[in-house]
C-alpha cells in the first residue's frame, strides 16, 4: 500500500551510500515520477539538472571553494564535508524552480509544486531501494555561477542519491491528532 511506502521514506545521507552506480534508466524513472506532481494551472515549474561523473565532482569543488570564499571564518572540516558529500553520491540532482513568466499563480504554489515533484522522486527512490536526501545549503544562491539558469529560474537545493547497505532508522512522528482540529 502507498501508506507503507510513505512511512518508509527516509533521508539517507551520502556518508551511508555504497559505490554502486545508479543506471541512467533508473534516474529517468525517478524523474518521470517527478513529472506527475500536482501543478496549479499546469505551470510544471520543476527543473532538474542531473550531475554524474565529472560534473558531480566539479560541483563539490565549486561548493567547497565558494564556502571558503564567502564564509567569514571558514572551517576546513566543513569545506571537506561539502566536497565529500558530492564524492560519496552516485548522482546529484539540482532541484530548480522556473517561475511562470505570466505569474499566473503565486510563487509559493510553484515552490510547493516543485517540492511535491521531489516527494514523488523520493518515494520512487524508496521503492527502488535508492537512498536520497534533499539539502538546501545557503550556497545554492551561487548556482548561477556553476550552471546556467534561465530568467526566473532558481535553485532550491540538491537531491543526493546513492545505494546503501544498512537499513535507515525507522521514522518517528508525533500522532496526527496532536496537529489536527476537526471543525463540524
Q: Let me know the angle formed at the C-alpha of 162 by 157 and 167, rounded to the nearest 5 degrees.
A: 110
Neighbouring CB atoms inside 10 A of 147's CB total 15
**Is 8 one of the annotated binding-site residues?**
no
Alpha carbons 48 and 82: distance in angstroms, whole number: 20
- What mean pLDDT comes out for the span 102-119? 97
What residue spans define the domains of the chain?
A: 2-165
Place of cell 567547497: 64
Mean pLDDT of the chain: 97
- What mean pLDDT comes out for the span 159-163? 98
Under 8 Å between Cβ of 159 and 132? yes
**Is 127 one of the annotated binding-site residues?**
no
Quick check: 170 pLDDT over 90? no
> Residue 154 corresponds to which cell in the numbers above?
532558481
pTM confidence score: 0.95
Alpha carbons 7 and 123: distance in angstroms, whole number: 10
**Is 135 one of the annotated binding-site residues?**
yes
Under CATH, what is the fold of the domain 2-165?
Answer: NADH Oxidase (3.40.109)
Digit-coded pLDDT (tens) for 34-78: 999 999 999 999 999 999 999 999 999 999 999 999 999 999 999
**Is 58 one of the annotated binding-site residues?**
no
Amino acid at each position: 500500500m502507498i501508506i507503507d511506502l510513505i512511512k518508509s521514506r527516509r533521508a539517507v545521507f551520502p556518508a551511508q551510500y555504497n559505490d554502486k552506480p545508479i543506471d541512467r534508466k533508473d534516474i529517468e524513472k525517478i524523474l518521470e515520477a517527478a513529472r506527475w506532481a500536482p501543478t496549479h494551472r499546469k505551470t510544471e515549474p520543476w527543473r532538474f539538472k542531473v550531475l554524474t561523473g565529472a560534473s558531480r565532482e566539479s560541483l563539490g569543488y565549486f561548493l567547497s571553494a565558494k564556502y571558503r570564499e564567502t564564509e567569514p571564518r571558514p572551517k576546513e572540516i566543513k569545506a571537506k564535508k561539502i566536497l565529500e558529500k558530492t564524492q560519496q553520491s552516485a548522482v546529484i540532482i539540482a532541484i530548480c524552480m522556473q517561475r511562470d513568466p505570466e505569474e499566473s499563480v503565486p510563487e509559493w504554489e510553484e515552490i510547493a509544486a516543485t517540492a511535491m515533484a521531489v516527494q514523488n522522486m523520493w518515494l520512487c527512490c524508496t521503492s527502488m531501494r535508492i537512498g536520497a536526501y534533499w539539502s538546501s545549503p545557503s550556497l545554492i544562491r551561487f548556482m548561477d555561477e556553476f550552471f546556467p539558469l534561465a530568467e526566473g529560474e532558481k535553485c532550491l537545493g540538491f537531491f543526493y542519491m546513492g545505494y546503501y547497505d544498512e537499513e535507515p532508522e525507522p521514522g518517528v512522528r508525533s500522532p496526527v491528532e496532536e496537529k489536527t482540529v476537526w471543525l463540524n
